[in-house]
Each structure stands twice: as structure tokens, then as C-alpha cells.
Structure 1
């Protein structure tokens, strides 16, 4: 990389329904590599444009059919089937896991599938807010009922005044959801409810009542939601009784068949990379070291692989686009992964020091006994 890459104004506002639907339409498909012979016959300008397209794909569109995606999809299908025909309310989907497991990416991918299925049934849809099959918002940091209503109003393009009361905002939001035909409403970062202090329980109630008073199927996602006000006490029991968990895959040594499942994830990621000399079998032997480096974090794995892939594409030699363990170890990582690696190195060093001390003790010659002096 010889320059700073400026994004410019992409013109895609994902906090508004039209921008979010466009965002979904760009995801979920594997990059189609042209044959090597065709690539080598491209003009310099064609080759530059093609490589830029590969780099853009790596930026935010590398997705795989992993366990989490399958679990969210099947749970959502079940819940939507259970809710079919209900005048309002019904069951919802609950997605909770520690940070870095890839749950948000999986939610976007499944919502994209819902959108694609809706378009198949309604080819002329998506032209206006009255044909908006999916919605996605994040709970704001403040975690108050009003802030949640305002996020929904912004998504739906509903005008409001800053001093509007909670009841007024709730009324316009309910009307907006009903008028847009939303089938699935995803609310992410639900752990932010805890930031609302005394308002957090009211915010949890606001989300539950929205799910009760609309025909949309609600999907709630966030970090370790089991310990938030969303599921505590009598109010939390109402959520627990109405939402069905979609498991998020865990790749820790404590989980069942974790290494074979992790290998599957790594090979799927390799297959999704738009590279010419990297295949699933190329990365399978690196699954163990990659798990050690990332701690089983899907987010960290994606960061490392896409970073290396970008560097290989920028070499402008497709025959050398092979991901190696040296490339992966040289990749920059996020701070969470950096802390994991440092802790791991610390444990390894401590273990090595103990082993060395033990060996020194066992090989040390005994000194004379006191009664021999």
C-alpha cells in the first residue's frame, strides 16, 4: 500500500431503510473470479478495475455459511411459521454471545436472505417504504425508550420533534411499522439497555411491547444478554417466554468437536477469498495456529485473512496469491486479539520457566548431608 485510501462519500446511510436494503443486496454472494487466461489478457486499466473490485469485496462482503448463520436462519424460519396468521405479537428470535463471535454479520446475512425471498414473491417491491420487509437498528448508548423510538423513526424516515414525548413517539413508530409491511425487525446492541440506568427496565418494556403490538417478527441480538435487564425478573420472564434462542457457534476447547468445526470455518473462509492460489486445503493445516492466534474469534479470523488477501492482490501476481502461515503471523490484529496473544505468550513463558526450573532441580547434584560435615 503506497497511499492512504480515502473512502469518499459512499452515499449509503444504513440507518435509513433505503440505505440498509441496498447494503443487504450487496452482501452474501461469492466473488466470481475470471479464468486465469482471461485475467492475464486484460488491459492494464481492466486489470486495475478488476483488482479494485476484489479489494472492495474484501472490505465488507466476505461472508460464509457457518453454524451461526444456519442456526439463526432455521430459528427465524420456525418462528415466522409459528407467527403466521397471528393478528399481532408472537414469538421472537434471541441471539446472544460474547463479542467477536460474528453474530451481527450472521444477522445481516440472514436478513439479506429474507429480503431476497421477499423480492422473489414481490418483484416490484422495495421502491418505497410501504415495501420494506426487514428493519435493523442498534440500541443507542443511552439505552432509553425515547432513544429507541427515535432510532426506529429515523430508520423509517418519520419526522419528529426532539421534545416529543415517549407516548407520541411510540404512536408514530407503531404506525410506521404497520405501514411499511416489515416482516422481520432486528434490534442489535441490546446490551446497551444497561446504560439507561433507571430507564433500562422501561426500555426493555418498550421493546417487548413493540414486539407485542406489531405483526413483525422481532430478532434481538447483543453481547451476553442473559445478564441484562432484558431477561431479569418478572419482566424478563415475559421476554424469555416469547423468544427462542438461536445458538451462536463457539470455537473453544470446551465445546464439542471444536477443532473440526473450526477447521470447517477456516476452509469456508478460504473458499470465500477472491484469490487465485489459495484453496480450502491451503489453509486447513493452519487451523490450529489460527485458533491459537485468534482465540477462536470469528471477527479476528476474518480480519487476519482479509488483510493478508488484500496484500496478496496488491502484489499484482495472481500465481503468487497463496496465504502462508508467515503472512498470517505478520498481519496486524485488533486489540482484543493482541491481548489474547500476549496472555498466551505469557502462559507459554511461565510454563517454560517452570519446566526449566523443574529440570534444573532434578539434575542438581545433592550437597553433603549435615551429619557428614
Structure 2
């Protein structure tokens, strides 16, 4: 069973995982395989489709560049370190974006020999729990770091313990996902937000927050919010449009995902015939789009058709709409 990336073991496995892209195979070559080898090929293609490299969109590149800039700047700052907030609608790709940027960062650190040793933790990745309190917030960090949470610890002692371990482990990037759970309408969550701010001041490293429509949580409102926005660059992930100049970006995304599906009989670029229908069905939300196409692709691999049946999907939708309008 795959461990959550909000644990040190799960995160390490996520960073270390390397999936080789299955060698392209023709229909005749697939048919010539033994039943066991054919099943292995199909499973390998489905696994690579779901867990392989993410599509590097223009939005992904801009956010990664900003995070890397702030990582470099923070190397020279003793206080007032800079961070990034990634905000957007649900399923827009926030977690995928920050997790894969952090993964790429740690892999680069390993490549240059700066992430060696059992005690090195280049990246910490935590999620803010619902109904969060200061101690619960710090507990997520302690859980990731593998620290025992002693019942007699008060918040200050736990904070100092976490901060000292983060410093000792050489952590450079700290990702706090689900930051919208720190809804500032509630006193305990305001206190948890203050605790997170204090921790960021005590810890070396660059903090990156990610959450659903972060502005709506109140995190950037009032005096607390002004402190946040003075140090954190808010970056928004947006839906893809399918009109004007943005049409080309939508088409590029469709072709990139189509190419990652590994379908033997899929005609390259055939997906573009349904660009408008796919946009109408998903609203330009990348998470909804990939979810839909992955399901269709897995069906095509399992039933042996090896191509996206978008004519069938949207033909059925059109027929159903026509019937409903009678």
C-alpha cells in the first residue's frame, strides 16, 4: 500500500520512485505476447499513465521558477524569509503542482550530493488538518519528522523541538498543504496560523503554502494577513480556457495528456477533434480532465480497443441531451 506523502517514509518513496516509460509496442507485437506478458504490459502502461511524470504546463513552470527564486534569496536572509502561496479552485492541480516541484527540488539535491546521509531531510511536506489547533499543527510536523509527541510538551516546547530538528536535518523547503483549513473565522485556527508563522521564523528554509481559494479563508486579511502578504507571493492556478490565444494552450495540454496514455491505436492528435466537448465537460479544470481521460484510457487498455472512445462518450451525451429536450 502506498504511504501518504505527508509522512517521511511516504515522501521519501515518492521522491525515489522512478517509473520507466514502457517501450512502445505495436498491435501485432501485443497480440504475439503470452497472456501473462500481455497482462504485465497493460499494467505497466496503466501505472505509468497514472504515476508517471506530470504535464509541465506554463503555470507549473512559473510557480516552480518563483519557488526556486525564493529558495535562493532565502539562503542569504537571517530573518524575514520569503515564501509562496499557491491558491486555486478544487481539483485545479495545487497539490500535484507543489508536490512535484518539491520532489524535483529534492531529486536535484540528491543528484548534487546535498541530500545524503540518514539525517538529511531536504523537504518537509505536511497537511493542515481540519479543526486545527496550534498543537495539532505542530504535531503534523512532528509526525513527518518521526518525533515522539510527549503528552507533557506544551506548544512552545514542541515548536522548539520541531524547529531544532528541521535545522539539524538541513531542511530547505517546507510545504504546507491544505492551508485553507486555517480558517481565520475561528479563534483556535487563528492561533494555529500564528503558530505556523512563529515556526517559519524559527526554522531555516522556504515555506510554500497551498490551498483552496486561500483568500477566502481570511489568511491574508487584517494585520495578520498583511504580515503574510508582505513575505509571501500569492500565485493562482487557473482553469484552462478554450478561446482566443488560450485555445493553443488547451490544445497543447490535450495532446500532451494524449501522448502520456500509452494507447497503441490512438491516432496522435485525434483528441483535438473533441477539444470543445472536453472543455465543456471539464470546465478547463486539469484534474477533472486527467481523471476523465485516465478512466477512458484504462477502459481502452482493458477491453483491447486501445483508443479513446470520445465519439461514444460525447455521442451518448448529445443523444441524451436531444432526448431530454423533446
2:132 pairs with 1:143: yes
1:307 corresponds to 2:295: yes
The reply on whether 1:99 has 2:84 as its aligned counterpart is no
Q: Cα distance 1:201–1:124, how it changes in 2: closer, same or farther (>3 A)?
A: closer
Among 222, 235, 241, the residue aligned to 2:211: 222
How far did 1:327 drift? 4.7
Distance 1:79 1:328, change over 3 A: farther
Q: Which runs of 5+ in 1 are unaligned?
A: 1-9, 332-340, 354-373
Deviations 1:91-127 (A, max 9, x none): 10110111121111111111111011011111772x5
CA contact (8 A) 1:308 1:327 kept: no
Q: 1:63 to 1:124 in 2, by over 3 A?
A: closer
**After the TM superposition, which residues 31-42 of structure 1 pair with which residues of structure 2 at under 5 Å, given as runs?**
31-36=21-26, 38-42=29-33
Q: Tell me the SS of whatever aligns to 2:23.
A: coil
Which residue of structure 2 lines up, in the alignment, with residue 267 of structure 1? 255
Number of the residue aligned with 1:6: none
Q: Do the aligned partners of 2:49 and 2:260 also contact (CA within 8 Å) in 1? A: no
Aligned to 2:56: 65
Partner of 2:277: 289
Mapped pair 1:209 → 2:198: yes
- Report deviation, 1:311: 0.6
Is 1:326–2:311 an aligned residue pair? yes
1:246 aligns to what?
235
- Larger radius of gyration between Structure 1 and Structure 2: 1
Q: Report the secondary structure of 1:15's partner residue.
A: coil
Residue of structure 2 equivalent to 1:367: none
Distance, in Å, in 1 between the alignment partners of 2:315 and 2:262 is: 20
Contact 1:89 1:214 in 2 (8 A): no
The alpha-carbon deviation at position 326 of structure 1 amounts to 3.2
Decide whether the 8 Å contact of 1:313 with 1:321 is kept in 2. yes
Q: Hey, what's the Cα distance between the residues in 1 that align with 2:267 and 2:208? A: 35
Aligned length: 321
Q: Answer whether contact 1:135 1:185 (CA < 8 A) is retained.
A: yes
- Mapped to 2, the partners of 1:266 and 1:144 lie a distance apart of 42
Quote the residue 2:178 is aligned against: 189
Distance across 2 between alignment mates of 1:202 and 1:231: 14
Cα distance change, pair 175–327 in 1 and its aligned pair in 2 (3 A)? farther
Q: Give the secondary structure class of the aligned counterpart of 1:194.
A: coil
TM-score by length of 1: 0.78
Q: CA 1:307–1:92 in structure 2 vs 1: closer, same or farther (change >3 Å)?
A: same
2:69 to 52, 74, 78: 78
Mapped partners of 2:152, 2:252: distance in 1: 52
Q: Give the whole-Å Cα distance in 1 for the aligned partners of 2:176 and 2:76.
A: 23
Deviations 1:241-296 (A, max 9, x none): 1011333133246x873322222211111111122222541112211100101111
CA deviation vs aligned residue, 1:58-104 (integer Å, no higher than 9, x gap): 34446211123112211111111211222355110110111121111
